[in-house]
């Protein structure tokens, strides 16, 4: 069952990607709705309580075929962005590496008491310019632009967000949006070169509720989560469209706080959100109704990434999983231990298709390790193709296998010598098994004769009465 969601009537489409006309500074707009209201969206969406099918799960790690697999940041890093051959992290330092050979290309100290809290590669004038510069937001509300090649800060905007920590930088075509901890949202439009420019200041400023837990740009909209509530906003360069899209926030009683989210190219009309209790909620982009809630794990989902028709998830346990959503419940296609500590973020790099001729997925763990994975799962595809065609190059015949386990009960050679049932157990089993082709032995509670302490205790006079074969 799906239900419609009320939306504000004055919403207008906006798709401005040209330099904005000069305008006076605009004060942040207040949220029209009441954040404290208990009104909800579709809170009765169908819930699939069955966990994903694990019968065909592959647990091998999807290593990238070429290039370096992992990079150690060597400092406490929780934020990164990736563009083709470059990956950039920020914190006490802002550093950039080559993902192909691990070379450190840029390292900038943020200064005493300062740390980078948001980072994003700046849009370029063309695809060749992509990945050359990054925008960095810090805990003092400043925005900085760094050039990777020269390892220098080439532009700054002190007080861009007052003294408030910048928590997110989003890309919307050739615009950049910045969000701080108070809910102030700035829209930075393109200049005459059609790229955002810190020297010009924001084209528009808006305000969203405090308490941000996750947010994502969906088309022209910003889907913004605070705890379990999701609100939808429409930032524009000219400020003419209604900013708040929905009257009431979207909320699911059956799911925990929103911690992550993603879009899938195979499901263009849906938005997926991960929750703290291991659930994934699915929303319609057309009418904002909740299409369902899936139970995918017992653990907190820290990050989601969509690659084709597969959903990648990073968990608080350090594990990563890949889900195939063509069936209900979903199928767990891959599952592996990606990091020793919780996975902080998983990101698919769209630019790697045209820059590196591959699809790379990058993950950052709380162990301060960046790891690169094969987003196309080529090894799995090759293995699947070989299995489908194995009748063309393989011959098959049935074989008989005997699998046995024997609990020796910590028996010593002495007890075997005087216990007929123990001494003849294996011989009798083999003689009655009908000549199997493969025999697999399993033993339990054996005495390690190399362990002198254990062996001495077994053969000591005090322990002999404890043997089950002794009188």
Q: What is the DSSP string of 415-435?
A: HHHH-HHHHTHHHHHHHTS--
Residues 379 and 282 reside in one and the same domain: yes
What does the pLDDT average to over 342-356?
96
Provide CB contacts within 8 A for 310, sequence distance 6+. Answer: 322, 323, 324, 325, 333, 377
Residues 326 and 409 reside in one and the same domain: no
Q: What is the DSSP letter of 453?
A: H
Going by their DSSP bridges, the two strands 360-365 and 343-349 should be labelled as antiparallel
**Total domains present in the chain:** 2
Report residue 120's pLDDT band, with 50, 70 and 90 as the boundaries.
very high
Question: pLDDT at residue 6 above 70?
Answer: no
Residue 280 falls inside a structural domain:
yes
The residues facing 319 across adjacent strands are 337
What does the pLDDT average to over 236-244?
94
Cis bond upstream, residue 63 (ω within 30): no
Place of tokens 């899209």: 245
Range scoring the smallest mean pLDDT among 53-57, 209-213, 332-336, 465-469: 465-469
Of 321, 353, 386, which residue constitutes the final position of a domain? Answer: 386
> Tokens standing for 134?
């990054």
**358-393 burial, b for 16+ CB within 10 Å, e for fewer?**
bbbbbbbbbbbbbbbbbbbbeebeeeeeeeeeeeee
Contact 57, 332 (CB under 8 A): yes
Of 327, 354, 386, which residue constitutes the final position of a domain? Answer: 386
Report residue 11's pLDDT band, with 50, 70 and 90 as the boundaries.
very low
- Which DSSP string do the residues of 192-253 spell out, in sequence order? TTSSB-TTT--SEEEE--S---EEEEETTEEEEEETTEEEEE---SS--S-SB-BSS-B--T
What does the pLDDT average to over 187-208?
95
Residues 92 and 115 reside in one and the same domain: yes
pLDDT for res 457? 59
Residues 306 and 357 reside in one and the same domain: yes
* More confident of the two residues 368 and 456: 368
Of 316, 351, 386, which residue constitutes the final position of a domain? Answer: 386
pLDDT for res 43? 54
CA pair distance 53, 334, nearest whole angstrom: 11
Residue 157 falls inside a structural domain:
yes
CA pair distance 68, 213, nearest whole angstrom: 32
Q: What are phi and psi of 148, to 5 degrees?
A: -65, -45
Residues 314 and 367 reside in one and the same domain: yes
pLDDT for res 4? 43
Please give the angle made by the CA atoms of 297, 50 and 293, to the nearest 5 degrees.
70
pLDDT for res 185? 98
CA proximity to 401, closest of 425, 356, 376, 433: 433
Instruction: Bin 381: left if φ > 0, else alpha if -120 < ψ < 50, else beta.
Output: alpha
Distances (CA, A) of 395 to 389, 390, 400: 12, 8, 17
Residues 204 and 322 reside in one and the same domain: yes
Report residue 26's pLDDT band, with 50, 70 and 90 as the boundaries.
very low
> Tokens standing for 155?
């532009």
Provide CB contacts within 8 A for 406, sequence distance 6+. Answer: 425, 426, 441, 442, 443, 444
pLDDT for res 101? 94
CATH number, position 123: 2.130.10.10
Residue 137 falls inside a structural domain:
yes
Residues 340 and 441 reside in one and the same domain: no
Range scoring the smallest mean pLDDT among 9-23, 44-58, 73-87: 9-23
454 lies in which domain range? 401-466
Q: What are phi and psi of 63, to 5 degrees?
A: -65, 145
Question: pLDDT at residue 276 above 70?
Answer: yes
- Which DSSP string do the residues of 86-154 spell out, in sequence order? EEEEESSEEEEEETTT--EEEEEE--TT--EEEEEEPPPSSTTTTTSEEEEEETTS-EEEEETTTTEEE
Residues 92 and 191 reside in one and the same domain: yes
Report residue 365's pLDDT band, with 50, 70 and 90 as the boundaries.
very high
pLDDT digits (tens, 9 = 90+) for 409-459: 776 666 667 777 777 777 888 788 888 899 898 888 776 666 656 555 555
Residue 35 falls inside a structural domain:
no
> Tokens standing for 188?
């930075």
Residues 352 and 418 reside in one and the same domain: no
Residues 245 and 351 reside in one and the same domain: yes
> Tokens standing for 413?
């050679």
Q: Which of 27-41, 348-362, 442-456 has the highest mean pLDDT?
A: 348-362
CA proximity to 156, closest of 137, 171, 139: 137
Tell me the pLDDT of the chain averaged across its residues.
87
Question: pLDDT at residue 24 above 70?
Answer: no
Residues 418 and 352 reside in one and the same domain: no
Residue 5 falls inside a structural domain:
no
pLDDT for res 34? 40
Residues 329 and 246 reside in one and the same domain: yes
Residue 27 falls inside a structural domain:
no
Residue 29 falls inside a structural domain:
no
CA proximity to 422, closest of 433, 430, 412: 412
pTM of the model: 0.79
The number of beta carbons lying within 10 Å of the beta carbon of residue 436 is: 14
Question: pLDDT at residue 360 above 80?
Answer: yes
Contact 378, 416 (CB under 8 A): no
Residue 18 falls inside a structural domain:
no
CA pair distance 392, 461, nearest whole angstrom: 66
CA proximity to 290, closest of 258, 252, 233: 252
What does the pLDDT average to over 161-172?
97
> Tokens standing for 448?
């390690």
């Amino acid at each position: 069952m799906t239900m419609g969601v009320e939306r504000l009537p004055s919403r207008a489409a906006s798709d401005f990607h040209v330099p904005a006309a000069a305008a006076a500074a605009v004060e942040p707009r207040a949220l029209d709705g009441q954040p404290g209201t208990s009104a909800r969206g579709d809170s009765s969406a169908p819930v699939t309580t069955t966990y994903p099918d694990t019968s065909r799960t592959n647990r091998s790690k999807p290593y990238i075929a070429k290039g370096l697999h992992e990079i150690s940041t060597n400092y406490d890093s929780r934020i990164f962005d990736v563009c083709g051959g470059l990956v950039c992290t920020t914190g006490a330092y802002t550093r950039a590496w080559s993902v192909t050979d691990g070379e450190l290309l840029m390292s900038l100290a943020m200064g005493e008491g300062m740390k980078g809290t948001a980072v994003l590669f700046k849009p370029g004038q063309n695809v060749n310019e992509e990945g050359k510069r990054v925008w960095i937001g810090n805990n003092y509300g400043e925005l900085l632009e760094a050039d990777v090649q020269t390892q220098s800060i080439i532009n700054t905007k002190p007080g861009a967000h007052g003294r408030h920590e910048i928590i997110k930088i989003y890309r919307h075509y050739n615009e950049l949006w910045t969000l701080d901890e108070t809910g102030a949202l700035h829209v930075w439009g393109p200049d005459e070169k059609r790229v955002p420019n810190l020297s010009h200041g924001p084209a528009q400023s808006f305000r969203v509720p405090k308490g941000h837990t996750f947010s994502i740009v969906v088309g022209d909209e910003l889907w913004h989560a605070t705890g379990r509530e999701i609100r939808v906003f429409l930032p524009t360069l000219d400020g003419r469209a209604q900013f708040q899209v929905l009257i009431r926030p979207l909320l699911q009683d059956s799911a925990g706080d929103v911690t992550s989210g993603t879009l899938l190219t195979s499901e263009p009309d849906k938005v997926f959100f991960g929750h703290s209790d291991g659930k994934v909620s699915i929303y319609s982009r057309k009418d904002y109704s909740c299409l369902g809630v899936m139970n995918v794990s017992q653990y907190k989902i820290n990050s989601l990434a969509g690659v084709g028709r597969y959903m990648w998830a990073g968990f608080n346990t350090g594990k990563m999983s890949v889900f195939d959503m063509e069936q209900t419940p979903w199928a767990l296609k891959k599952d592996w231990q990606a990091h020793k500590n919780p996975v902080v973020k998983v990101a698919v790099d769209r630019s790697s298709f045209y820059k590196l001729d591959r699809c790379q997925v990058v993950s950052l763990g709380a162990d301060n390790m960046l790891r690169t994975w094969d987003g196309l799962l080529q090894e799995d595809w090759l293995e699947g193709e070989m299995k489908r065609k194995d009748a063309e190059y393989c011959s098959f015949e049935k074989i008989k296998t005997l699998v046995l386990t024997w609990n020796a009960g910590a028996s010593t050679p002495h007890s075997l010598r005087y216990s007929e049932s123990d001494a003849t157990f294996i011989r009798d089993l083999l003689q009655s098994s009908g000549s199997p082709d493969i025999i697999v032995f399993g033993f339990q509670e054996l005495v390690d004769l190399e362990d002198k302490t254990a062996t001495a205790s077994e053969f000591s006079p005090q322990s002999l009465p404890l043997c089950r074969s002794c009188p």
